[in-house]
């Protein structure tokens, strides 16, 4: 009988702990979205002009080795803004951990295919995370205002980070299919927002690489890893 009561108390304790954790995750996600949504634009006509657009990196391919619609959606959005004169230069910021994987070079290649001049594109090979991409735009490339180019679901976190760094940003996220609550990507982003808050307010996380300041003038950006 005593053992049964202990197990019941333990079970109730676990349920309470899980409920608290779920509530904290929900509150943090609401905080991130509510503080960012007024800076996220789905219409280019309402988007403020900026000299520079920063494309956040993602893989060109899905887990099934198919073309990634998130990757190509960002490329198309950047091309649209450049052609409309809403941005004049583009930073492609993504991961380049080794010679076999290079997000910035893939983005640059697709932009050039779409007609963007080479000299308008700068590659940032140290955009390992959204925090790194945003912080490096400020610390390495000297930007205080720029346009973030990604999908709506990710834009909230990017804008939240930028605001904490006292940057003046807008995010362009053209309408696209919403992520299903049943997808792995959806839940990864839910927890990524929690991680972002911890990085900014608790852990004081800094980018993995910073280095010397760089100019965007005719500067494609050096590789961290050679191809």
29 is a domain residue? no
Q: What is the pLDDT along the chain (227 residues), one digit of tens a residue?
A: 777 788 788 889 899 999 999 999 999 999 999 999 999 999 999 999 999 999 999 999 988 899 999 999 999 999 999 999 999 999 999 998 887 899 999 999 999 999 999 999 999 999 999 999 999 999 999 999 999 999 999 999 999 999 999 999 999 998 776 666 658 888 999 999 999 999 999 999 999 998 889 988 755 555 544 34
SS (H, E, C) the chain: CHHHHHHHHHHHHHHHHHHHHHHHHHHHHHHHHHHHHHHEECCCCCCCCCCEEEEECCCCECCCCCECHHHHHHHHHHHHHHHCCCCCEEEEECECCECCECHHHHHHHHHHHCCCCHHHEEEECECCCHHHHHHHHHHCCCCCEEEEECCHHHHHHHHHHHHHCCCEEEEECCCCCCCCCCCHHHHHHHHHHHHHHHHHHHHCCCCCCCCCCCCCCCCCCCCCCCC
Cα–Cα distance for residue pair 53/92, rounded to 1 Å: 9
51 is a domain residue? yes
Give me the pLDDT at residue 143, please: 97
Give the CATH number, domain containing residue 45.
3.40.50.620
Give me the pLDDT at residue 204, please: 94
219 is a domain residue? no
Give me the pLDDT at residue 4, please: 77
64 is a domain residue? yes
153 is a domain residue? yes
17 is a domain residue? no
Q: Cα-atom radius of gyration of the chain, to the nearest Å?
A: 20
Give me the pLDDT at residue 225, please: 46
89 is a domain residue? yes
Give me the pLDDT at residue 227, please: 40
Number of separate domains in the chain: 1
Quote the tokens at residue 211. Answer: 């280095």
Structural domain containing residue 48: 39-175
13 is a domain residue? no
């Amino acid at each position: 009988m005593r053992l049964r009561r202990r197990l019941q108390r333990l079970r109730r304790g676990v349920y309470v702990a899980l409920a608290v954790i779920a509530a904290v995750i929900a509150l943090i996600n609401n905080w991130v979205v509510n503080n960012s949504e007024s800076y996220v634009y789905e219409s280019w006509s309402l988007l403020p002009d900026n000299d520079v657009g920063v494309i956040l990196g993602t893989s060109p391919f899905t887990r099934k080795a198919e073309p990634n619609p998130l990757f190509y959606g960002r490329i198309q959005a950047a091309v649209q803004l450049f052609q409309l004169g809403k941005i004049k230069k583009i930073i492609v910021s993504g991961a380049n951990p080794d010679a076999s994987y290079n997000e910035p070079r893939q983005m640059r290649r697709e932009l050039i295919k779409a007609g963007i001049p080479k000299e308008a594109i700068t590659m940032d090979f140290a955009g390992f995370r959204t925090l790194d991409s945003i912080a490096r735009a400020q610390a390495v490339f000297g930007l205080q205002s720029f346009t973030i180019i990604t999908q709506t679901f990710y834009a909230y976190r990017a804008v939240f980070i930028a605001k904490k760094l006292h940057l003046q940003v807008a995010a362009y996220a053209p309408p696209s299919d919403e992520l299903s609550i049943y997808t792995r990507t959806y839940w990864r982003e839910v927890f990524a927002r929690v991680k972002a808050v911890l990085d900014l307010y608790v852990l004081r996380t800094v980018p993995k690489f910073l280095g010397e300041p760089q100019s965007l003038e005719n500067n494609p950006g050096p590789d961290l890893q050679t191809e």
